[in-house]
Structure 1
Amino acid sequence: MSKLYTLLFVLFTLLPLSAKGRTQSSVQVQPAFWWSGMVNPTLQLVLHGHNIGHSQVTLSTTDVSIDSIVRPVNSNYLLVYLNIGRARAQRFNLQLQSGRTRQRIAYELKARDAAPKAQGFDAADVLYLLMPDRFANGDVRNDVVKGLRESTASQAPDARHGGDLAGMTRHLDYLDSLGVTTIWPTPLLLNDMPAGSYHGYAITNYYEVDPRFGSNADYRDFVSQAHKRGMKVVQDMVFNHCGSMNPLFVDRPDSTWFNNNSHYVQTSYKIAAVTDPHASSADAQNAQDGWFVASMPDFNQRNPHVMRYLIQNAVWWIEYAGIDGIRQDTYPYADRQAMARWCEELKAQYPHLNIVGETWLNNNVGVSAWQKDSPVAQGLCNSQLPTVMDFPLMGLLNSALDERTNEWDKGLARIYDYLSQDNVYADPAHLLTFMSNHDTDRFARVQAQAMQSWRYRQALTLLLSLRGIPQLYYGDELAMAANKGKGDGALRQNFPGGFAGDSINAFTGSHMTPLMQQTYDFTRRLLQWRKQCDAVKYGSLRQFTVADGVYVYSREYKGHTVTIMLNGTDAPACVSLARYAEALPASTARDVVSGRTLRLDQGTLQLDVRGVVVLDFAK
């Protein structure tokens, strides 16, 4: 009988959740699995469960060892640091014991697969930014998911509309045919917030795709399907802050995981104070450590455990989903030194990876200070960030084209002047250029602007033929119009044809307005041409000072020249070609816009009112 009691006792204590242990929460482990053969031999496991903080931890394997165990103030957490430098792919157990209570947690180190990942993106690419909830609804069954805090879907501007990964995957052929090469969806991870969860920037689980978009497997399939078409995927990551319903905040390991001792302090948003050589310490600290809003707690990246968690999360998604690049939200608001280490570690593991940081400053010096090897970041650590966002050029594209160009300070002359200062940047080719995005007015703020087709033609031509990595915002190719004054929801309308009952289907071209069709055709023509034209992707930029309201510049690469002429006035222009001889290597060239072959040996060239000519001297 005593032997029977002993056997029952052993079985009782070894079960992961015994009858006694059912009063405890199951232990959650992040990341849920990892891979062998990684550059960094250290693996942080964040264990979260009721009162596990005093447990002793052992492993059932011999080639994985415990480097250290961190016991946060909150006894519901354990941070276990493993050394996997010599570990093979395998399954093993973490064994937790506290008194007579034992729990066994299965863990797996997977073998890395050979699927393409972290290919990076550069000036050869064109990014297409879309909001998954507003792009296309491919599976109505996940529009509402029981158990989540926002449990309804409607067409209200700030509600869930139902777009998902199934819709995105279904329309990859549309994006491929349009001519974009890289897809940037806004965040797809779980946002289990009471309201406004559609935008994705208040993450409540860094390892789970929001079920209203689909599953982790659906995301991985989306990336795979994009790769089959020769397209890439950039993942939008948010490491400055999370959603207030994230368990890391609700039941945080300790108060130092979030800035200001985990108490809400509003940021000033004046991020220039971080790089301002004259800034007060108080301003610089508030800009970085303040919270965006009360519902988005601000991570403290100076806490090494927080930073390790974030670094591993980025690696996990690259390995799991095979993404090609990263867009990091609100980059300057996070700790500069910590994020530099993040960039360095990712590049050590993935040499071809490109990362673009959201650097929302409205002058080139401010933006430059956040790019790797910046010449203007004296006294600051090297950010190691390869690509920054060219917000100043966005501002010019949205304002200068509404002016009548003169030779000095109006219209296209302002774009010339801005580009003449490119030596402020460490690498102008690694600027993300764009006309608008999900946080700004659309390029056409009102429908009247959208009806001025020349305005879009000039802006798109500049975007696709100047230096940098171009990015379009979904619906640009359809002349969609909206302004931020009507709220963020207005900037993020449904894509026509992506939802049941849509009278216009842009995916098929059904019932598109003449303006939509005209804009789409022009966009597709330039995008498909750009795919084949190395001169505008890699070529050196030569620009001429504005004369008679006309701006001329060229791109040259391995003997191939493309020369662009834009008329910034409300009258036809007669361009004297002798002045531009160094950018006109032949007497004829094909005009990409009209498709005609133009003669250039007559001494002049006529440009229409606000006209555009793209001369391709391909041999």
Structure 2
Amino acid sequence: MKTLKLILITLLVATVFSCQETTSEESVVSEPVAEIQNDIEKVEPPHWWTGFKNQKLQLLVKHPNIGSAIPKINYSGVSIVEVHKADSPNYLFLDLEISELAKSGQFNIRFQLEDASELIQTYELKSREKPAEDYIGFDSSDAIYLITPDRFANANPKNDEVEGLLQQGIDRTDGYARHGGDLEGITNHLDYIENLGFTAVWPCPVLINDMPSGSYHGYAMTDFYKVDPRFGTLKDYKELANNLRTRDMKLIMDQVANHCGLEHWWMKDLPFKDWVNYQELYEENKDNWDWKTTKTSNHRRTTNQDPYASKNDYLEMADGWFVSSMPDLNQRNPFMANYITQNSIWWIETLGLGGIRQDTYPYPDKAFMSNWAGAIMSEYPNFSIVGEEWSYNPLLIGYWQEGHENIDKYDSNLKSSMDFAMQKNISDALNEEESWDKGLVKMYEGLANDFAYTSPKDIMAFTDNHDMSRVFTQLKGDVVNTKMAMSYLLIMPRIPQIYYGTEILMDDFDNPGDHGLIRTDFPGGWQGDSVNAFTGEGLSDNQKDMQKFLTKMLNYRKTSDAIHDGKTMHFAPQDGVYVMARISDNETVVHIINKNEEEQELELSRFEELGLSGKTLTNIISKETLIWNTSMTLDEKGSTILTTKTQ
């Protein structure tokens, strides 16, 4: 008996110690999910993934009177850390911890209500499709094609109108109506985009804009997790991303952290009293809301940097609504901050993105924007984000780039900002008559301002975009000037972005700057178009020539180490001629802009430090060769682009 008791005591002690050494996650037995249950109106993010560096996840739960419910999860590796009630009784926010022990799979979140009844929502954790390091962003080796999806190509007329949405109808004669372009239209023409020489595609936003008017442009989202059905489905969006990936091309997503659309689903029942800025004022004046008369906005973005700015001016800029129909999101609310950041990560994983373009970058709370970009770059160290800073002042552009030594110690965690300054310099330089302080010197001195940037080659440059007159219009319909602008853009140390249709000289001459006209339909994107730019049918000689010019430039650029990463050297313009070179160990590319209508003799001794004397150079466009000797004859106005590489 004594022996038996001793054995039993030993087993009991061993069991106790074994239980003490078991972690809480290991002791949880996951509840099997027999069938998917969706009792809850909305849970966002709609699913998540295992294996993130940041193991925290905050769920937004919306359902009538869900605020009084007690949630429970029984799934190994997943635990509820904290539950937050909102000001509205129809929301709960759940802080989850997803440990490294969590496996992909489905589990139930049970919500016990006050009357002892229960609501059940099945949630899914997915396995990540590739390591975080494999999310490679865009850089100076890329060339980006910017598209307004509604105006590019209509592959599926069946989704032109969707019952139940506020804006109905297609009217291609109205620049502010919907025209029917869709995601499938982009996917179907990737051969065209790739053959032009582009390596990345940036479509303007395609998330749903269920707004009564102007819904085509995409910047007034009414659901941050839903593709606009007039553009297609999430499957269509994924197919575009996958098709780009198979071509070794990248998809850049246009995101908006600053605002949403006035018809966003949460505007009918805001979770907190400070979910959007000027919320109290808006709710008091819903029936007669006018952002202008309430004086809640200004566009003085310099208040982000201005050491003398009043607090009032800063808050009006940061908190004011961008326009009356776009509520300004309050990123100082921690739940809103989490929502926006998680939404960005959700789309990176869902689409396998190659970058994010963040709209209206200086307008949100700048501390939040640093945290937002930092959270993304921490998870995806090789990723890229570019922020829109519409400023012609390099000091402001440089302020937002990661690593810039700002006097206020602000670090944005943002790899790239947008070079509106160089856009204006290029346009001015080619339009102006030459003098000591006008003309090409604008380009030269614009590039000289690169000392203001932490990494000039990571700045995104462009000659136009979806918000400004097309470059051909800016340059007054001058084809040669347009070619010079584009060649300079593609050779300077930047990430170049080109707007769809630039390759066929699309313009907005009839009403310069009009957004509806800037975003004109791409010819050939609609059945029955008399002109088809995809095939060349019906294009003028100038349009065909511009297509060929850009195709040669872009495809040469793809393999040019000198353009991607080389040293830059340029020489002050003289007599209407400006010379810039890009230099690497195995290649030198020389770009010569000549604004003279008559023949010009260029003495080459001035450029001796390029080390080209006696070398054979090839013209990238004409394929003609020359020996760099004492002088060069420039026969006509235009660009000459030479390379030491044997082609």
Common fold by TM > 0.5 = yes
Kindly state the Cα deviation for residue 100 of structure 1 after the two structures are TM-superposed.
Answer: 2.9
**Corresponding residue for residue 157 of structure 2:** 140
Spell out, residue by residue over 1:139-165, the C-alpha distance to the aligned partner (whole angstroms, 9 max, x if none).
000000111111212111101100001
**Corresponding residue for residue 22 of structure 1:** none
1:65 aligns with 2:95: no
Q: Which moved further from structure 2: 576-585 or 203-212?
A: 576-585
Is the partner of 1:461 in helix, strand or coil?
A: helix
**Corresponding residue for residue 57 of structure 2:** 43
Gaps of 5+ in 1: 1-13, 18-24
Spell out, residue by residue over 1:199-230, the C-alpha distance to the aligned partner (whole angstroms, 9 max, x if none).
00000111111111111111011100011111
1:552 aligns with 2:576: no
Contact 1:563 1:583 (C-alpha < 8 Å) held by counterparts: no
Letter in 1 for 2:87: V
1:457 aligns with 2:474: no
Kindly state the Cα deviation for residue 125 of structure 1 after the two structures are TM-superposed.
Answer: 0.2
Kindly state the Cα deviation for residue 486 of structure 1 after the two structures are TM-superposed.
Answer: 5.8
Kindly state the Cα deviation for residue 182 of structure 1 after the two structures are TM-superposed.
Answer: 0.3
Is the partner of 1:236 in helix, strand or coil?
A: strand
**Corresponding residue for residue 187 of structure 1:** 205
Match of 2:390 among 328, 348, 360: 360
1:403 aligns with 2:432: yes
Contact 2:508 2:514 (C-alpha < 8 Å) held by counterparts: no
Spell out, residue by residue over 1:100-150, the C-alpha distance to the aligned partner (whole angstroms, 9 max, x if none).
331010001011113896310100000000011000001000000111111
**Corresponding residue for residue 6 of structure 1:** none
CA separation of 1:15 and 1:405: change in aligned 2, threshold 3 A: closer
Kindly state the Cα deviation for residue 404 of structure 1 after the two structures are TM-superposed.
Answer: 2.6
**Corresponding residue for residue 309 of structure 2:** 279
- The separation in 2 between residues aligned to 1:521 and 1:66, in whole angstroms, is 59
Is the partner of 1:393 in helix, strand or coil?
A: helix
CA separation of 1:291 and 1:479: change in aligned 2, threshold 3 A: same
- The correspondence of residues 222-301 of structure 1 with structure 2, limited to 5 A, is 222-261=240-279, 263=282, 264=291, 266-301=296-331
- The separation in 2 between residues aligned to 1:600 and 1:373, in whole angstroms, is 40
Q: Which moved further from structure 2: 26-35 or 427-436?
A: 26-35
**Corresponding residue for residue 176 of structure 2:** 158
**Corresponding residue for residue 518 of structure 2:** 491
Letter in 1 for 2:98: I
Match of 1:417 among 442, 445, 448: 445
Q: Which moved further from structure 2: 490-499 or 568-577?
A: 568-577
CA separation of 1:308 and 1:442: change in aligned 2, threshold 3 A: same
Letter in 2 for 1:202: A
**Corresponding residue for residue 20 of structure 1:** none
Spell out, residue by residue over 1:279-305, the C-alpha distance to the aligned partner (whole angstroms, 9 max, x if none).
222111111111111110001111111
1:574 aligns with 2:601: yes
- The separation in 2 between residues aligned to 1:182 and 1:39, in whole angstroms, is 27
Spell out, residue by residue over 1:438-497, the C-alpha distance to the aligned partner (whole angstroms, 9 max, x if none).
001110227x833x2211111011000001100000000000111664621011000010
**Corresponding residue for residue 111 of structure 1:** 127
Is the partner of 1:518 in helix, strand or coil?
A: helix
- The separation in 1 between residues aligned to 2:430 and 2:180, in whole angstroms, is 36
Is the partner of 1:566 in helix, strand or coil?
A: strand
Spell out, residue by residue over 1:162-209, the C-alpha distance to the aligned partner (whole angstroms, 9 max, x if none).
000111110000000000000000001011111100000000111111
Contact 1:535 1:556 (C-alpha < 8 Å) held by counterparts: yes
Kindly state the Cα deviation for residue 568 of structure 1 after the two structures are TM-superposed.
Answer: 2.5
**Corresponding residue for residue 527 of structure 1:** 554
Spell out, residue by residue over 1:247-296, the C-alpha distance to the aligned partner (whole angstroms, 9 max, x if none).
22221101211112353554211111211122222111111111111110
Contact 1:567 1:608 (C-alpha < 8 Å) held by counterparts: no
Contact 2:426 2:442 (C-alpha < 8 Å) held by counterparts: no
Is the partner of 2:71 in helix, strand or coil?
A: strand
- The separation in 1 between residues aligned to 2:620 and 2:485, in whole angstroms, is 15
Q: CA RMSD in A?
A: 1.8
Is the partner of 1:104 in helix, strand or coil?
A: strand
**Corresponding residue for residue 494 of structure 2:** 468
- The separation in 2 between residues aligned to 1:486 and 1:338, in whole angstroms, is 32
**Corresponding residue for residue 176 of structure 1:** 194
Kindly state the Cα deviation for residue 16 of structure 1 after the two structures are TM-superposed.
Answer: 6.4
- The separation in 2 between residues aligned to 1:333 and 1:83, in whole angstroms, is 32
- The correspondence of residues 376-387 of structure 1 with structure 2, limited to 5 A, is 377-387=406-416
Is the partner of 1:68 in helix, strand or coil?
A: strand
Is the partner of 2:370 in helix, strand or coil?
A: helix
Kindly state the Cα deviation for residue 26 of structure 1 after the two structures are TM-superposed.
Answer: 4.4
- The separation in 2 between residues aligned to 1:147 and 1:445, in whole angstroms, is 39
Is the partner of 2:68 in helix, strand or coil?
A: coil
1:478 aligns with 2:504: yes
Kindly state the Cα deviation for residue 551 of structure 1 after the two structures are TM-superposed.
Answer: 0.7
Match of 1:600 among 605, 622, 628: 628
- The separation in 2 between residues aligned to 1:26 and 1:94, in whole angstroms, is 10
Letter in 1 for 2:125: L
Letter in 2 for 1:480: M
Match of 1:221 among 219, 226, 239: 239
- The separation in 1 between residues aligned to 2:36 and 2:97, in whole angstroms, is 26
Letter in 2 for 1:104: I
**Corresponding residue for residue 394 of structure 1:** 423
- The separation in 2 between residues aligned to 1:135 and 1:61, in whole angstroms, is 46
CA separation of 1:613 and 1:307: change in aligned 2, threshold 3 A: same
Match of 2:533 among 506, 512, 533: 506
- The separation in 2 between residues aligned to 1:464 and 1:170, in whole angstroms, is 26
Q: How many residues align?
A: 594
- The separation in 2 between residues aligned to 1:482 and 1:392, in whole angstroms, is 22
Q: Which moved further from structure 2: 98-107 or 481-490?
A: 481-490
Contact 1:183 1:232 (C-alpha < 8 Å) held by counterparts: yes
- The separation in 1 between residues aligned to 2:409 and 2:362, in whole angstroms, is 13
**Corresponding residue for residue 112 of structure 2:** 97
Contact 1:266 1:294 (C-alpha < 8 Å) held by counterparts: no
Contact 1:71 1:77 (C-alpha < 8 Å) held by counterparts: yes
- The separation in 2 between residues aligned to 1:238 and 1:421, in whole angstroms, is 29
Letter in 2 for 1:532: T
CA separation of 1:15 and 1:142: change in aligned 2, threshold 3 A: closer
**Corresponding residue for residue 198 of structure 1:** 216
Contact 2:569 2:582 (C-alpha < 8 Å) held by counterparts: yes
Q: Which moved further from structure 2: 207-216 or 25-34?
A: 25-34
Is the partner of 2:110 in helix, strand or coil?
A: strand
CA separation of 1:174 and 1:115: change in aligned 2, threshold 3 A: farther
Rg larger in structure: 2
- The separation in 2 between residues aligned to 1:207 and 1:82, in whole angstroms, is 20
Contact 1:560 1:617 (C-alpha < 8 Å) held by counterparts: yes
- The separation in 1 between residues aligned to 2:166 and 2:220, in whole angstroms, is 13
**Corresponding residue for residue 32 of structure 1:** 46
- The separation in 2 between residues aligned to 1:260 and 1:609, in whole angstroms, is 58
- The separation in 1 between residues aligned to 2:596 and 2:152, in whole angstroms, is 36
Is the partner of 2:109 in helix, strand or coil?
A: strand
Q: Which moved further from structure 2: 32-41 or 582-591?
A: 582-591
Task: Give the percent of matched residue pairs that are identical in Structure 1 and Structure 2.
Answer: 38
Is the partner of 1:331 in helix, strand or coil?
A: coil
CA separation of 1:587 and 1:557: change in aligned 2, threshold 3 A: closer
- The separation in 2 between residues aligned to 1:382 and 1:388, in whole angstroms, is 13
Spell out, residue by residue over 1:525-558, the C-alpha distance to the aligned partner (whole angstroms, 9 max, x if none).
1011111211111111001111222111110112
Contact 1:411 1:568 (C-alpha < 8 Å) held by counterparts: no
Q: Which moved further from structure 2: 364-373 or 606-615?
A: 606-615
Contact 2:473 2:512 (C-alpha < 8 Å) held by counterparts: no
Letter in 1 for 2:120: R
Letter in 1 for 2:261: G
Spell out, residue by residue over 1:558-586, the C-alpha distance to the aligned partner (whole angstroms, 9 max, x if none).
23111111113333321001111222524
**Corresponding residue for residue 325 of structure 1:** 355
